[in-house]
Structure 1
Amino acid sequence: MSDSDKYPDDSGRRRFVKGVVGGAALAGVGTTGAAAINSATTSPGAGGGPTQAYAIENTAGPAPRGMPQIPIEIDSDGFIKGVWPEVKTVTQNGIDIKIAETDDYKGSGVTYSSAWFQYCGVQSYGGLAPDYESDNYFRADSGGYDWQKDAYSAGDKLNIEDFGDYKEWGNGIGRDGLGKPATGTWRSQDAEDTMPIQILRSERIEEAAQDNDWLAASTDQGVIAWLNKCTHFCCVPGYKQASDAAKFNAEDGVYCQCHQSVYDPFSIVQTLFTALPRPD
């Protein structure tokens, strides 16, 4: 792993939902501002460079920014999938390359791109290739929670019916009733590398989505998802998974035990960073 992967560049971030009690208007940061912030660190190559993304907010610890959100959909059978952006061909430095990018995602005004996930070495994962063949469903991993180990085997698709008690769920860490989580993988079947994800179904997300265009477009039935790679040292954090999280006021957040970075899954922010290029 290169030093640029281990030590992501500091980035600006603007909140547009805080605590998700109601939703503020989508904060706008133009591409000119993004280029100015990242002008010294722009990465050449396929799909790299200044990137504006939406993330669960980093609130404490050394992580430079939040972890990127994955828009989700729930099919007619209740299975939950991460939405992959539209694959298109563009010319970059005189060379035609494929990228995955959707303009004005579901009318939200947001450009959603696979570049959101190009950090911590993920940019070289097979599943991040724009045209990687995948059904995009979230699949259970070995299970970060007791309930999940009872409900799923590794590789099973996550289903909304198994989150029915999300308004009451608790596991003895922090407050009960904030939401029900699960851990899993995305676009990783038959791939050498695994993209870890975390999802959370919460009444607070449902409420916020009622008056926020981005959350209305990117969440469904209170389910929110993010790529579960800490932006500090690329570890895999957890929501209500560490018994010592309370020492760092993180018992109700997403906590990375490696270096005590903390993220708030109920605060979605806009981030600016330099996405690392995919291998040509």
Structure 2
Amino acid sequence: MPEEDDKYPKSTGRRRFVKGVVGSASLAGVGTAAAAGINSATAPTGAGGGITQFMAMENTSGPAPRGMPQIPVEIDSEGYLKGIWPEVKTVTQQGREVKIAEMELGGVTYSAEWFQYCGVQTYPGVKPDADQDNFFRYSGNSKFEWQNEEVSEGDKIHVDDFSDYETWGNGIGQSGLGKPAQGSWRSQDVPPSGTMPVQVIRSKRVEQMAKRDDWIEASTEEGFIANLNKCTHFCCVPTFKGLPGSRVANAQDKIYCQCHQSVYDPFNVVKKSFVALPRPEGE
């Protein structure tokens, strides 16, 4: 296609990105044998990458090709929330030694490659051995009034901030469904362009889910569940119960992306596949 006929000229990089998203969505349904063949034919040029399975907040509506990856949660002895980071180890890939972050958790292989899309593969925090402490920290200019009034940008997220999670409401959808917050992860002292956005929700529904599912039991704690908050469509930042306009997509009680009306269900975590992008050479 001539560049002048392309909606997104080559100089923007947009056209190539859209093709990558479509390809990833198509590959999500391939069988194991076919996936192995494709993986070998599309060997990544950087570290990590390739077809990977991950646990996600299910995409239920809109153009997003797949769900957003869940981040396993743990709470330290002082009540601060952290995202579990996989164990770092050295392996041989394509004839060279590289560091990867991977571990078994709740019967699932949890990997840093879950987060290698939307440019995040270039962010400092996704590097397996990055010097980050894994605490969730509040972001500024939140969609939630309570967060803007009661905590400050950069504060570590604490259990006590969610003491009213069983009754909390803000006039959007059902009250008492859960209390959300917006934040960042593995991004302290990182420029905004490299900040990994996260969404944290505390809900009784998550506590109930953990009683009947090994993965949810292992990846949540005290009703807290979290996800990397990058819409898998065009990489916007969605919101759970933070946008009155979510009513147009019947998403008042779900995670809603106002850019193109993609909807995600935080209370339905599913296993999916996609082509994780490799980290740049030397990272």
Q: Is TM > 0.5 for Structure 1 vs Structure 2?
A: yes
1:99 aligns with 2:92: no
Name the SS for the 2:252 alignment partner.
coil
Amino acid at match of 1:110: V
Partner of 1:10 in structure 2? 25
Residue 43 (structure 1) shift: 4.0
Supply the distance in 2 between the matched residues of 1:50 and 1:146 (Cα, whole angstroms).
39
Residue 2 (structure 1) shift: 5.7
Contact 2:91 2:98 in 1 (8 A): yes
Unaligned runs of 5+ in 2: 1-12
Partner of 1:145 in structure 2? 144
Partner of 1:232 in structure 2? 233
Supply the distance in 1 between the matched residues of 2:114 and 2:159 (Cα, whole angstroms).
25
Contact 1:137 1:157 in 2 (8 A): yes
Name the SS for the 2:121 alignment partner.
helix
Partner of 1:88 in structure 2? 89
Name the SS for the 1:278 alignment partner.
coil
Supply the distance in 2 between the matched residues of 1:82 and 1:198 (Cα, whole angstroms).
11
Supply the distance in 2 between the matched residues of 1:194 and 1:146 (Cα, whole angstroms).
22
Residue 109 (structure 1) shift: 1.5
Residue 256 (structure 1) shift: 0.4
Contact 2:27 2:275 in 1 (8 A): no
Name the SS for the 1:10 alignment partner.
helix
Change (3 A) 1:279 1:180: same
Query: How many correspondences in the alignment?
Result: 263
Residue 144 (structure 1) shift: 2.5
Contact 1:43 1:275 in 2 (8 A): no
Supply the distance in 1 between the matched residues of 2:270 and 2:43 (Cα, whole angstroms).
22
Supply the distance in 1 between the matched residues of 2:27 and 2:224 (Cα, whole angstroms).
26
% identical equivalent positions: 59
Supply the distance in 1 between the matched residues of 2:267 and 2:114 (Cα, whole angstroms).
19
Unaligned runs of 5+ in 1: 15-28
Contact 2:143 2:243 in 1 (8 A): no
- Structure 1: which 4+ aligned runs deviate by more than 2 Å? 1-7, 11-14, 29-45
Amino acid at match of 2:233: H
1:55 aligns with 2:56: yes
Name the SS for the 1:69 alignment partner.
strand
Partner of 1:273 in structure 2? 274
Structure 1, residues 130-156: CA drift from partner, whole Å, max 9, x if none? 110111000001122111112211000
Contact 2:28 2:274 in 1 (8 A): no
Partner of 2:114 in structure 1? 116
Structure 1, residues 149-171: CA drift from partner, whole Å, max 9, x if none? 12211000000111111111110
Change (3 A) 1:175 1:39: farther
Larger RCO (alpha carbons 8 Å, 6+ apart): 1
Supply the distance in 2 between the matched residues of 1:115 and 1:5 (Cα, whole angstroms).
18
Amino acid at match of 2:276: A
Contact 1:13 1:269 in 2 (8 A): no
How does 1:1-280 map onto structure 2 within 5 Å?
3=15, 5-6=17-18, 7-8=20-21, 9-10=24-25, 32=33, 34-35=35-36, 43-102=44-103, 104-105=104-105, 108-142=106-140, 143-192=142-191, 193-280=194-281
Amino acid at match of 2:25: D
Residue 205 (structure 1) shift: 0.5
Larger Rg: 2
TM-score normalized by the length of structure 1 = 0.88
Contact 1:38 1:273 in 2 (8 A): no
Contact 1:11 1:65 in 2 (8 A): no
Supply the distance in 1 between the matched residues of 2:270 and 2:26 (Cα, whole angstroms).
12
Supply the distance in 1 between the matched residues of 2:222 and 2:31 (Cα, whole angstroms).
30
